[in-house]
Amino acid sequence: MKSESYLELFNQSDWGEVSRLIGSITPQDVERALDQKGAGGLRDFAALISPVASKEYLEEMAVLSNRLTEQRFGKAIRLFAPLYLSNECNNVCDYCGFSLGNNIPRKTLTPIEIIKEAGSLRKRGFEHILLVTGESAQVVDLSYLKDAITTLTPYFSNLSIEVQPLKQDEYEVLIEHGLHSVFVYQETYNRESYAKHHLKGKKRNFDWRIQTTDRLGRAQIKKIGLGCLYGLTHDWRTDAYFAAHHLSYLEKRYWQTSYSMSFPRLRPCKGETEPAIVLEDRDLVQLLCSFRILSHELELSISTRETPTLRENLLPLGVTTLSAGSKTNPGGYAVEENSLEQFEISDDRSPKEIFDLLQHKGYDPVWKDWDHSYNLTDQSSIPLRRKEKSTPLTVVA
């Protein structure tokens, strides 16, 4: 029976059973997954994300991930920048600098300040902008977001948001005004861990958040971004499995939408919490390769949270999208407000430095790969994306 939403499918799953599956993987399971190039779906993903794969097969995974990425994307790397509109937030989350409990200067950009930030980013070459806010529906409401998108549409080819989850009809309004993509990270798929770290506010509602992607799919958004915040939950492999489980559901249910996956690791911030586990660089490599082998068309993004050296080393392994010159506080590019950053960045190189580095390494840095005119295209004339996998969506095989 087809599930009406991902929440319904998720509620049929068992965290412990998935953990045991990953722990029972054999070398033969990993070899089969590599031979099939991920065609076995979630069972192959469980093999690739397992400790066995990490110890013995990481090099083979990296080679396959590189080959699959270049077959689908060539050597193009899209560049984007986050534009923080507000650090107001009504949630208490113990890992975030914007948390309501932190006594920090709060700032929400005015229309004039938004224009100043936009001008600074355009001078740096950006065409793809991610609008980010804390979660305060009283300050950053639908009207504010709609006005911000309307203001910025003439300046940029592609606008995305990472804000509080909205209703389906609210997403439809923003799409009509030029919204292209929405990034909504579940943070962790472990209910117990989720409740431990989200102490107050609407974000505490696990079900409301996990249902956001279905609202977006029904609203016919062009792209949805997923991800976990690695470090919140001790069993990061099972968390990654459920992110893949979520992705597989969406790719089958809302096949006209494209998808991206991000891999943020818990970074220092004001009022920081100790990570439940430290995700090592080797683990991040395994995550990146596993998702590429699972989904050949998936966009994979690495942010400025990571160090310059690591970001460069990850490039051949499946990365298709990079942020550059990021500021994580409202007004950080031009307004120069003394507002708090959401988290500390590690790669503070300028967009030009990143652009030149990519060219030097033989990549094609892309400022623009979408235009507003595409929104007017007769959708019936666009060829359907080919779906290579037809395996049933199950939690365990």
pLDDT, one tens digit per residue, over 58-91 is 999 999 999 999 999 999 999 999 999 999 999 9
Band of the pLDDT at 277, cuts 50, 70, 90? confident
What is the tally of helices (H) and strands (E) in the chain?
Answer: 16, 11
| 356 contacts: CB under 8 Å, gap ≥ 6 | none
Q: pLDDT value at position 290?
A: 98
Q: Which helix (H) or strand (E) holds 233?
A: none
Q: Tell me what the mean pLDDT of segment 9-18 comes to.
A: 97
pLDDT band at 268 (very low <50, low <70, confident <90, very high): low
Handedness of CA 112, 336, 120, 362 (dihedral sign): negative
The model's confidence at residue 374, banded by pLDDT at 50, 70 and 90, is low
**Cα gap 321→315, rounded to integer Å:** 9
The residue ranking higher by pLDDT, 171 or 374, is 171
Domains of the chain, residue spans: 6-16+76-371
Residues 215 and 175 sit within 8 Å (Cβ to Cβ): no
Which pLDDT band holds residue 340 (cuts at 50, 70, 90)? low
pLDDT tier for residue 328 given thresholds of 50, 70 and 90:
confident
Could you tell me the pTM of the whole model? 0.90
pLDDT at 389: 39
The CATH classification number of 6-16+76-371 equals 3.20.20.70
pLDDT of residue 343: 52
Helix axes 142-152, 168-176, angle to 10 degrees: 20
HSE-CB for 327 with a 13 A CA cutoff: 22
CA distances from 175 to 12, 13, 146, 180, 205 (A): 32, 33, 9, 7, 25
Q: What are the φ/ψ torsions at residue 31 (nearest 5 degrees)?
A: -65, -40
In 137-235, alpha helices (H): 142-152, 168-176, 191-197, 206-210, 212-218
The sign of the torsion formed by the CA atoms of 141, 145, 148, 151 equals negative
Specify the DSSP element, H or E, that contains 132.
Answer: strand 128-133
Average pLDDT taken over every residue of the chain: 90
